[in-house]
Amino acid sequence: MTQLTTAASRWLRRPLPRPAARVSLVCFPHAGGSAAFYTPWARLLPPDVQLVAVQYPGRQDRLGEPPAETMDELAEAVAKVLRTDGADGHELILFGHSMGASVAWETALRLEAGAGPAPRHVFVSGRPGPRHQRPGQVHLRDDDGLAAELRRLDGTHTELLDDPEIRAVLLPAVRADYRLIETYRPDTTARLRCPLGAFTGDADEEAPVDDVATWRTATAGAFTQRVLPGGHFYLVPQAEGLVAAVLDACGSSPGRSVHPVLP
């Protein structure tokens, strides 16, 4: 495994390095989320798969950097680091949840169009397909309204939203992410070449099963869909089953079950 450059290390995090890895599972967070959201997944992967979590600017150790303003800016930046040295010579599998689903798809389109590693498989989660994505106005709410939306989705610990100091640090990145995704207009004619898999929770009001099924028009490759129990953040309690389904669908580790890997 090579050492990431400074630029790549700002964007890509490996919570549990795997020197023998052949494949990188690159994971894109939801609006307001961070790379740390995917840290528990690292121990669910076999030794030949490396978890690589994307860290968007404007949060945690990148708090001093301005958040991305547009989808083009964000996807171009991630594609650049993966294209240059962030892929580490591995085959790439991309996974994104909610806003991260769109970022993963846009990044994959750029990788396929450029000279560099094209993804072997892309997975999207908790987000309607491009033709069913609609503009929104959550980013225009005041801080209380934005916090109320986070509480409704149940993806942020309530005690963080109750602490004024933490909220003051957290909400600017959340607002910026909502502005980015709510003003994003996908090219509904764009198609990946690689296979695409879609996941959602059976009680996710943000991404109804039928709307998620429309991702089938976002690829010229094979399409699969899987529905798991839960709401918008179904993937937290369903992490083990979801990771297993991702590996099975892309054939990364044939015949192997997913189980925690100790350091």
> Annotated catalytic sites, by residue?
98
Quick check: helix, strand or coil at residue 236?
coil
Eight-state DSSP code of residue 26:
E
**Which residues contact residue 85 at a Cβ distance below 8 angstroms, ignoring those fewer than 6 apart?**
2, 4, 5, 8
**CB-based contact 60:36 (threshold 8 Å):** yes
- 94 by DSSP, 3-state: which? strand
> Which DSSP state fits 188?
T
Instruction: Give the DSSP H/E element, type plus range, for residue 223.
Output: strand 223-228
Q: According to DSSP H, which parts of 89-188 are helical?
A: 99-113, 143-153, 158-162, 164-182
In 3D space, the residue among 205, 212, 209 whose CA is nearest the CA of residue 232 turns out to be 205
Maximum distance among all alpha carbons in the chain?
50
| Tokens describing residue 107 | 């990044």
Q: How far is CA 89 from the centre of its chain?
A: 21
Q: Give one word for 58, left, alpha or beta, with left for phi > 0 and alpha for psi -120 to 50.
A: left
Q: Are 198 and 212 in contact (CB under 8 A)?
A: yes
Q: 29: which 2 tokens? A: 């967070």
Q: Which amino acid is at 164?
A: P
